[in-house]
Amino acid sequence: MRGKAFKFGDNISTDHIAPGRLFHLRSNLPEFAKHVLEDADPEFASKMVKGDFVVAGNNFGLGSSREHAPQIIKIAGVGAVIAKSFARIFYRNAINIGLLAIECDTDGINAGDELELDIEKGILTDLTNGAIIPIEPLPPVMIKMLNDGGLVEHIKKNGGFKLD
């Protein structure tokens, strides 16, 4: 995977991701996705292109357990969310809907850097500055689930969890 980094700080909440004032759009997720991360960066949705990365600090996705937050990130076309750490419910919701969420040290990544992510090898390369950042490789079953489109699609396709 390859894309541009959009850099955010610590404690980006689900309200930053899916603005509460627009919650009436929850029944129209493609429209809601046009406002993704609007309260953290008003221009994010209009500037990012499919495959770009959200890069953040600690505790990304804190706050309410609304699953709309990772859903609209995925619908907007973000390739992955890369953060130092995630709120537990956000991380679980992201993986369940098929949004790649990667934990690693993001301090050396700057806004606009070109990144390349190899989840099987566990490497994030910052092509702009040459840094190679190790990530925790994902278990094969999690990669399969993500490739299938999330938990529900994985179960539909495979009839349950299959480790091979």
What confidence tens digit (pLDDT) does each residue in 129-148 have? Answer: 999 999 977 888 888 888 88
Q: What is the pTM of this model?
A: 0.90
Is residue 86 a contact partner of residue 61, using CB atoms and an 8 Å limit? yes
For 89-135, the pLDDT digits (tens) are 999 899 899 999 999 999 999 999 999 999 888 999 999 999 999 99
Of residues 153 and 136, more confidence is placed in: 153
Query: Which one-letter amino acid corresponds to residue 91?
Result: Y
pLDDT at 43 over 70: yes
Edge to edge, the sheet with strand 123-126 lists 101-103, 80-83, 53-56, 2-7, 114-118, 123-126, 132-134
CA distance 100 to 113: 19
Angle at 91 between CA 85 and CA 96, to 5 degrees: 160
